[in-house]
C-alpha cells in the first residue's frame, strides 16, 4: 500500500496531457507493483493508457472530451525514459519551417536509441535509429534547420528558401548553427553561412 501511495503521489505531480512511461516510476517500486498500480488507476479513470507502457493524466475539454496526446509528446516521453535524443524528421522539419507545403502523413522521429514503432489507436509513431551526422543538433531549433536542409538536399535548397528561413530565425539560433559547422556536409555549411550573413544584414 505504501508503494502504491508513493506512485499515486508522484503521478499527482505530473501535468495533465503530458504522457509518462511506467519505466519512469520503477525507482519507486518493483515492475509488478508499478504495473498493478497503473492498471488500478486506469480502471479508476485517474489516468489513461496511451500505448503499451505509456500513460497520461487525461486533459479534457468540455466540448471535445478527452484530448488526444500529440505524437511529439509521446515520442519525447519514450526518449526521456530511455535517456536518448530525438530529431524531427526532415520532412516535418521542412514543413515546420515553411519551406515545404507537404504535411507528412507518417509520424517519424530520428533517434540515437533503438528503432521502434508505437501504436496509438490507429496511428503509428516510428522512432528510427539514425547516424550521428543525422542527429546533429537533435532537440534544438538549430537541429530543426539542419534536418530540414538535409532532407531538401543541395539541389532543392533554393535562395528563396534561405531567405524565408533566415527571416524567422533569431540570433541565438544562428549561434547554435555555428556550433555544428564540423558536423554537416560542405554544401550545407555554405548554406548555413549564407543564412548567418542574411541575418546579420537583416539586424544591421
31-35, 93-97, 156-160, 173-177: lowest mean pLDDT where?
173-177
Q: What is the mean pLDDT of residues 114-119?
A: 95
Q: Is residue 10's pLDDT more than 50?
A: yes
Q: What is the mean pLDDT of residues 23-38?
A: 94
2-66 sits in which CATH class?
A: mainly alpha
pLDDT at 204 (0 to 100): 44
What percent of the chain lies above the pLDDT cut of 70? 96
Q: Is residue 83's pLDDT more than 90?
A: yes
User: Of 20-34, 96-110, 158-172, 176-190, where does the model show the most confidence?
Assistant: 20-34
Q: Is residue 194's pLDDT more than 90?
A: no
pLDDT band for 192, please (50, 70, 90 cuts): confident
More confident call, 93 vs 176: 93
Q: Is residue 203's pLDDT more than 70?
A: no
Average pLDDT, the chain: 90
pLDDT band for 14, please (50, 70, 90 cuts): very high
Q: Where are the domains of the chain?
A: 2-66, 71-203
Sign of CA dihedral 126, 136, 133, 199: positive
Q: Is residue 155's pLDDT more than 60?
A: yes
Amino acid at each position: 500500500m505504501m508503494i502504491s501511495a508513493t506512485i499515486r503521489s508522484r503521478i499527482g505531480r505530473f501535468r495533465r496531457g503530458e504522457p509518462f512511461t511506467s519505466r519512469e516510476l520503477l525507482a519507486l517500486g518493483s515492475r509488478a507493483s508499478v504495473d498493478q498500480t497503473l492498471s488500478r488507476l486506469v480502471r479508476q479513470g485517474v489516468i489513461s493508457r496511451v500505448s503499451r507502457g505509456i500513460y497520461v493524466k487525461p486533459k479534457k475539454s468540455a466540448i471535445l472530451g478527452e484530448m488526444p496526446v500529440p505524437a511529439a509528446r509521446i515520442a519525447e516521453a519514450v526518449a526521456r525514459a530511455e535517456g536518448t535524443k530525438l530529431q524531427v524528421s526532415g520532412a516535418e522539419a521542412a514543413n515546420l519551417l515553411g519551406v515545404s507545403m507537404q504535411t507528412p502523413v507518417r509520424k517519424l522521429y530520428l533517434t540515437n536509441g533503438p528503432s521502434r514503432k508505437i501504436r496509438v489507436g490507429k496511428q503509428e509513431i516510428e522512432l528510427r535509429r539514425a547516424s550521428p551526422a543525422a542527429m546533429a543538433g537533435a532537440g534544438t531549433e538549430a537541429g530543426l534547420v539542419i534536418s530540414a536542409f538535409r532532407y531538401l538536399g543541395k539541389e532543392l535548397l533554393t535562395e528563396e528558401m534561405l531567405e524565408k528561413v533566415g527571416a524567422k530565425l533569431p540570433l541565438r539560433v544562428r549561434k547554435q548553427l555555428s556550433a555544428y559547422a564540423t558536423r554537416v556536409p560542405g554544401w550545407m555549411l555554405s548554406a548555413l553561412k549564407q543564412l548567418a550573413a542574411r541575418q546579420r544584414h537583416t539586424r544591421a
